[in-house]
Amino acid sequence: MKLIKDAVDSDASSYVTKGLGAPASAIVRSDEQFKALYSRIKQNEVAPSMVNLSESVRRKIDYEQQLGSHPDFKHLKGTEEIEEHYIVSAFIDIKGSTNLFKRFDKQTVFLITNTILKAGIHTMLVFGGYVHRLQGDGIFVYFGDKNMSEKEAVKMALSAVSVFTHFVKTDLKEYLESVGIEYIGIRTGVDLGYQEHVIWGNSGIGEISEVTTCSLHTSLASKMQSSADKNGVVVGAHIRNEIENGEDYFTPVAARKGEKDRYIYIDSDKKFYYTQYDFLWAKFLKTLDFIALNQYGKPVFKIKDIARPISDSSLRPIAIKSTPYFGKKL
């Protein structure tokens, strides 16, 4: 978030709004300034609390991951082979970024949106997501692999989107407003395709290709995103079915938008009606093992405890005024 502030502060409009006198046309961010800011986006660094979080969910942050290359299926690249395997698909789209061009130059908008995307990518990596594609201001992510059950993949996906949505709705919103940026939010769609519903294979020709999935439920994830409210998450019935006590965390979209939006997909010939649900992510977030509530009822990450042996040095800050304990050692 410091990077966003620095990008805004170096934009010409900031000089004007702060009343520094110089006309906007006379203020130009140097190439060196832009490159210095941009290089900070590309650094593979996360806060220690996020490292602790990744350890608590037993997933290593994999910076070696390649865009569009799920490690369990990359062997299909350039071949005519296909495989059937379940996958959880999540599509996250940033909303409100277009209006940034009304206030800032294109470099500042680039820095802001890329920083938010970086935060999203980091969050997905913490929970073992495989970033498949960046689409404009959107992130398309797979969850699950050949060593993980569908139920666990669903939990990871919902945990990831809950954490990121909370960040955007609270911390990021407050921070952006503090530097004069109008409200930005995200909308998310998530769905699960079981093994019999998904084909993995190479799509395209030669190097103009990628290993991806062909599945109704992959397509529905991005479609459900458009059904979500700002900072909302919409999921398919398969997702709901994998969560214990699902009735506590999901409500039909129809309850919010009307009966016409109950089903995200209908195949009348097959009598298949697929329901979409609003995911109550804020309620779900509070149930996760790595989340605690502070004195204001706000979710916070639990700090990982580090056991230290008791010694004179560790007791000194407590016993420094108790000379009988240390005797003449003081």
Judge contact between 11 and 34, C-beta under 8 A: no
Question: What is the radius of gyration, based on Cα positions, of the chain?
Answer: 24
Model confidence at 97: pLDDT above 60: yes
- Mean pLDDT (whole number) for 291-316: 62
Question: What is the residue type of 140?
Answer: F
Q: Give the best-scoring range by mean pLDDT among 6-20, 38-52, 173-187.
A: 173-187
What stretches of 206-311 adopt beta strand conformation (E)?
208-214, 232-236, 250-252, 263-267, 272-279, 291-293, 299-301
**Quick check: 136 and 264 in contact, CB under 8 A?**
no
Res 179: pLDDT = 78
Q: Is the confidence at residue 16, as pLDDT, over 50?
A: no
Phi/psi region, residue 70 (left: phi>0; alpha: psi -120 to 50; beta: rest), is beta
Q: How confident is residue 10, by pLDDT bands cut at 50, 70 and 90?
A: confident
What's the CA dihedral at 211, 216, 221, 224 to 10 degrees?
Answer: 160
Q: Do residues 224 and 236 make contact, with C-beta atoms less than 8 angstroms apart? A: yes
Question: Is the model more confident about 301 or about 110?
Answer: 110
Q: Is the pLDDT of residue 309 over 60?
A: no
What integer best gives the mean pLDDT of the chain? 85
Report which of residues 26 and 54 the model is more confident about. Answer: 54
Out of 66-80, 156-170, 224-238, 299-313, which region has the weakest mean confidence (pLDDT)? 299-313
Mean pLDDT (whole number) for 62-68: 80
* Structure token pair of residue 213: 């999935």
Q: What is the mean pLDDT of residues 267-281?
A: 96
This prediction has a pTM of 0.84
Q: Which residue has the higher pLDDT, 214 or 316?
A: 214
Among residues 76, 103, 93, the alpha carbon closest in space to that of 7 is found at 103
pLDDT: which is higher, 329 or 89 = 89
Least confident interval from 17-31, 142-156, 239-253, 311-325: 311-325
In terms of pLDDT, which residue wins out, 187 or 64? 187
The answer to whether residue 104 scores a pLDDT higher than 70 is: yes
Amino acid 124: pLDDT: 93
How much is the average pLDDT of 82-104? 92
pLDDT class of 303 with cuts at 50, 70, 90 = low
> What's the pLDDT tens digit per position in 198-243?
999 999 998 899 999 999 999 999 999 999 999 999 999 999 999 9
Residue 189's nearest CA partner among 150, 151, 233 is 233
pLDDT for res 310: 42
Query: Which of the four pLDDT bands, split at 50, 70 and 90, describes residue 159?
Result: very high
DSSP result, 76-89: GTTSS-EE---EEE
Q: Residue 38 half-sphere exposure, CB side, CA atoms within 13 Å?
A: 11
Are 176 and 82 contacting, i.e. CB atoms less than 8 angstroms apart?
no
Which domains are present in the chain? 47-329 (3.30.70.1230)
Q: Which two tokens stand for residue 29?
A: 């961010």
Residue 282 pLDDT greater than 80, yes or no: yes
CA-closest candidate to residue 84, choices 244, 217, 242, 197: 197
Q: At what angle do helices 106-126 and 2-9 cross, to 10 degrees?
A: 180
What pLDDT score was predicted for residue 314? 43
pLDDT in tens, 172-202: 888 888 877 877 899 999 999 999 999 999 9
